[in-house]
Copies of this chain bind each other. A is one copy, B any other.
């Protein structure tokens, strides 16, 4: 059996600290706990930024956060849970994404993809560590790995494409979304293990998105998608 934190607060495990703070009265004891949680996440983020995953030891983290070694285990349960908490706490996406507006519903999917990838490769040391945690299979800390708001955003994009008639109505949008995500995951995995350059990463992801969307597209929209497949294919052909 995989165990969560040992305290009495399992129900809020994994929520970002601000979300906890937002939920009202919060006895003084709980407030102290939330504060410690915040310190730990903060220290973890700093350590990852400075040294990557290699420099993130539980002893060092505890020292940096000003708590004892056992405390992070009481509050989060495991090292991985802490990294996941850091991942969930990244909410800059929301702001960036809110500014993107495209007339073409398919265009906005590709724009969001580009934005995401720019985000990740723009801070490699940081996001390599975070994505490594995503691919970690060692324990059962999985629920809500990716920001729920972020998921909702993507789902909105796909549903928009369906509504606009770009995607055939017979295709299940959630399955389509899932396959798109699997392309992203796959590409990010290659990036994490260093098997793909940032340049190819973008082209590869776009190619996969275009191919899957082409499979799901309504007839009228197949032309531009096919063009996009060929275009990304060409950009991938140059460097062997």
Contacts and interface: CB of A to CB of B under 8 A. Distances in A.
Chain A interface size, under 10 / 10 to 19 / 20 to 34 / 35 or more: 35 or more
A179 B211 contact: yes
Contact of A172 (B187, B189, B216, B237): B237
Give the copy number.
2
A176 B237 contact: no
A211 B176 contact: yes
Interface in A209-239: 210-216, 225, 229-230, 233, 236-237
Contacts of A1: none
B137 A170 contact: no
Interface stretch (A19-27, A91-99, A111-119, A190-198): A190-198
A175 B135 contact: no
A37 interface: no
A229 to B, nearest CB: 7
A71 interface: no
A169 to B, nearest CB: 12
Nearest to A234: B172
A185 B176 contact: no
Interface string A142-176: 10000000000000000000000000001110011
Contacts of A45: none
A22 to B, nearest CB: 29
